[in-house]
Every structure is written in structure tokens, then in C-alpha cells.
Structure 1
Amino acid sequence: MKIDLTGRTALVTGATGELGRVMALTLAGCGADLALHYRSNESKAAELTAAVEALGRRAVAVQADVTKQDSVLGMKKEIADRLGAVDIVVANAVVQYQWTSVLEQAPEDYASQFESCVMQSVYLAKAFIPDMIAKKHGRFIGINTECSMQNFPTQSAYVAGKRGMDGVYRVLAKEVGEHQITVNQVAPGWTISERDRENGTERSEAYESAVPLKRRGTDQEIANVVAFLASGLSSFITGAYIPVSGGNVMPSI
């Protein structure tokens, strides 16, 4: 048994980010062709495109503002023209901002999180799910966060956006399931990325002490779950919020 995405085309938004790069390369390593979305880092997108092509897969870098419907539709057209229909969507992009208390957080930060978590997902669904319905197959995967279950101080804008996103995914899973399209969320914990390895910041005793597995997860461990959900091995899983956090958060029944 192995993850085989041969013949599939995947879109990863925020593909030039720390997690996005690893997810894209992992999907390519499983045989998928890649549409690599970026907002502004064109040079990093070009490097990633070359890395995917070096794995023997087709790849295109596509620029878009995923908080704007017209931009997402333009991205969809460019991908269709260059790669064909998308089988797998990974909604990973999110606006970055400075976290602070509810009383001090700027109102526009809440708006940015709503736009990049909720509306990105809505626009991606409107753009790409109709082709999945036509093929009676599709994988729609959102990157959520363990913070959605933690609700710690200073997380309010991020949590608000991600919890809103969660609602969209749960409803969407019920709406498109009859077409054999699965809709799921991966919720990373505080993850070790390439930046941590370069800066020597992989360890945090305070955080690790609360994690049952007593360590932080890695970007590759997140990407592995995304690849599983993108594959036929996950064909009867939909509507799920799956923490990849070493047990740091545990959804209850």
C-alpha cells in the first residue's frame, strides 16, 4: 500500500510558505502535478517550480490574491490552460499579522483573517469544485490550526478566522459528498519548519512539556497527512478536523 497521486493535479495555495513548500514537494513526490500559488514571492515560486520539475512532475507557478474572487477565478483559468482541471485543492495561504489582545487587536486584522481563512475557502470551492463534480472525484483540504481548540490569549483574530473556516468545511462536506468529493481539515500544532532548522529554534521546553509526545511536530509530518487525505486511501473520510499536534489538542466525542 502506498500513496499514489499519479495522474492527479494539485493546487497548493501559499506554496512558497514554510509549510506550503513541503506539502507541494510531498504531493509531487507521490506523483501529482502541481499548481503552486504565490502572492508576492515570485523568486521562491520559481525555485519551487524547478524543484517539482526535478521530481519529474509538471508544475506551474500562479500568482493570485486568494482573498479576491476575480483573482482566484483568473488563477483557475491559468491552471486549466496550462495543467488542466485540478483534482486536489490545499488551502494553505493565510494573512500574517501581529497577535495581541482583543482590546488591542486592530479591527482590520479580524477582517484579514476572515478573508484569508473563510473567503479564500469559499472562492476556491466556487472555482474548483464544479470540475470535481463533473469528474465525480475531488479532494478539498484546508489547513486549520490547533489554536482553534486552544483559544489562548492573543489568538482571537486567528481563531475567529479558522473557526469560521471550520464551519464552511463541515457544511461543504455535506453538500458535495454525493459527488465523491471529500472535504477535510488538517490542524497542525506548532510545527518545526526549515526556518527553525536554519535558526536553531526547533526546541521549546515550555511547549513540549504539554504535548503528550513531548516534542514539536515537523513540516514533513503535516505534509504526510495532507498527502494521505489527497489520496484514494482516505476515500471514506470527509468532514474531519484532524489535529497533527502530538496529542496537544484532542477533539472530543
Structure 2
Amino acid sequence: MRIDLSGKVALITGATGELGRVIARSLAECGADIALHYHSNEAKAAELKSTIEALGRRAVAIKADVTKQDSIAALKQSVESSLGHVDIVVANAVVQYKWTSVLEQPAEDYASQFESCVMQSVHLAKAFIPSMIEKKSGRFIGINTECAMQNFPTQSAYVAGKRGMDGIYRVLAKEVGEHQITVNQVAPGWTISERERTNGLDESANYIKNVPLKRRGTDQEIANAVAFLASDLASFITGAYIPVSGGNVMPTI
């Protein structure tokens, strides 16, 4: 048994980010052709495109603003003209900002999180799910966060956006399930990425003391969960919020 995405086309938003690039490479290693969305880092997108093509897969890098419906529509047209029908959507992009208390957080940060978490997902669904319905097959995967369950101080804007996103995914899963389209979320914990491997790990003792597995997860471990959900091995899983956090957060029944 193995994860086989041969013949599939996957779109990853925020593909040039620390996690996005590992997800993109991993899905390509499983056999998928990859559409790489980026917002501004054209050089990294070109580098990642070359990496994926070196794996023997087709790839295209496309700039877009995921918070704008017309930009997502143009993205769809570009992807389909280059690679064809999109079978797998991974909504990974999110606006970055400085975290502070509710009383001090600028109002525009709440708006940016709503736009990049909730509305990105809505725009992607409107653009790509209709063709999945026609094919009676598809995978729609969102990158959420353990923070949505933690609700710690200074997390408010991020949590608000991601909890809103959670509602969209749960409803969407019920709306499109009859077409054999699965809709799921992967919720990473505090993840070790290439940046930290290069620059050194942040102090994490206070974090890992509460993690049952007593360590931080890696970007590859997050990508592994995404690859599983994108595959036929996960064909009967939908509407799930799956923490990949070493047990740091545990949804209850």
C-alpha cells in the first residue's frame, strides 16, 4: 500500500512558503503534477518549479491574490490551460502579521485573516469544485492550526480567521459529499521548517513539555498528512479537522 497520486493535478496556494514548498514537493513525489501559487516570491516559485520538474512531474508557477475572486478565477484559467483539471486543492496561503492582544491588535489584521482564511477558501471552492462535481471526484484540503483549539493570548486574529475557515470546511463537506469530493483540514502544531534548520531552532522547552510526544513536528510530517488526505487511501474521510501536533491538542467527542 502506498500513496499514489499519478495522473492527478494538485494546486497548492502559498506554495513558496516554508510549509507550502514541502507539501508541493511531497505531492509531486507521490506522482501529482503541481500548480504552484505564489503571491510575491517569484524567484522561489521558479526554483520550486524546477525542483518538481526534476522529479519528472509537470509544474506551473502562477502569481495571484487569493483574497480576490477575480484573481482566483484567473488562476484557475492559467492552471487548467497548463495542466488541465485540478483534482486536489490545498489552501495553504495566509497573510502574516504581528500578534498582540485583542485590545492592541489593529482591526485590519482581523480583516486580513478573514480574507486569507475564510474568503480564500470560498473563492477556491467556487472556482474549482464545480469541475470536481462533474468528475464525481476531488480533494479539498485546508491548512488550519492547533491555535484554533488553544485560544491563547495574542492569537485572536489568527484564531478568528481559522475558526471561521473551519466552519466553511465543515459545511462544504456536507454540501459536496454526495459527489465523492472530500473536504478536510490539517492542523499543524508549532512546526520545524527549513528556516529553523538553517538558522537554529527557537527555544521550545516550554512548548514541548505539554506535547505528549515531547517534540515538535516537522514540515514533512505535516505534508505527509496532506498527501494521505489527497489520496484514495482517505476516500471515506471528510469533514475532519486533523491535528498534526504530537497530541498537543486533541479534539473531543
TM-score, structure 2 normalization: 0.99
Counterparts of 1:224 and 1:109, CA distance in 2: 30
Q: How does 1:121-160 map to 2 (within 5 A)?
A: 121-160=121-160
Aligned residue number for residue 245 of structure 2: 245
* Residues 141 and 226 in structure 1, CA contact (< 8 A), matched pair in contact too: yes
Cα deviation for residue 202 of structure 1 reads 5.6
SS in 1 for 2:16: coil
Counterparts of 1:169 and 1:137, CA distance in 2: 17
Give per-residue Cα distances to partners, 1:84-137, cap 9 Å, x unaligned: 010000000000000000000000000000000000000000000001000000
TM-score, structure 1 normalization: 0.99
Runs of at least 5 residues in structure 1 that lack an aligned partner in the other structure: none
Q: CA RMSD in A?
A: 0.5
Cα deviation for residue 200 of structure 1 reads 1.2
Q: How does 1:145-184 map to 2 (within 5 A)?
A: 145-184=145-184
Aligned residue number for residue 80 of structure 1: 80
Counterparts of 1:196 and 1:146, CA distance in 2: 20
AA in 2 matched with 1:155 = Q
Counterparts of 1:120 and 1:148, CA distance in 2: 17
AA in 2 matched with 1:198 = T
Q: Which moved more, 1:201-210 or 1:8-17?
A: 201-210
Aligned residue number for residue 17 of structure 1: 17
Aligned residue number for residue 233 of structure 2: 233
Count residues with an aligned counterpart: 253
Runs of at least 5 residues in structure 2 that lack an aligned partner in the other structure: none
Aligned residue number for residue 115 of structure 2: 115
SS in 1 for 2:174: helix
Give per-residue Cα distances to partners, 1:116-169, cap 9 Å, x unaligned: 000000000000000100000000000000000000000000000000000000
Structure 1 segments of 4+ aligned residues over 3 angstroms from their partners: none
- Counting aligned pairs with the same residue, the percent is 79
Counterparts of 2:69 and 2:41, CA distance in 1: 20
Is 1:31 the counterpart of 2:31 in the alignment?
Answer: yes
SS in 2 for 1:149: helix
Aligned residue number for residue 2 of structure 1: 2
Cα deviation for residue 188 of structure 1 reads 0.1
Aligned residue number for residue 48 of structure 1: 48
Aligned residue number for residue 98 of structure 1: 98
Is 1:62 the counterpart of 2:65 in the alignment?
Answer: no
Aligned residue number for residue 206 of structure 1: 206
* Residues 3 and 30 in structure 1, CA contact (< 8 A), matched pair in contact too: yes
AA in 1 matched with 2:235 = S
Aligned residue number for residue 218 of structure 1: 218
Counterparts of 2:16 and 2:247, CA distance in 1: 28
* Residues 29 and 55 in structure 1, CA contact (< 8 A), matched pair in contact too: yes
Give per-residue Cα distances to partners, 1:48-90, cap 9 Å, x unaligned: 0000000000000010000000000000000011100100000
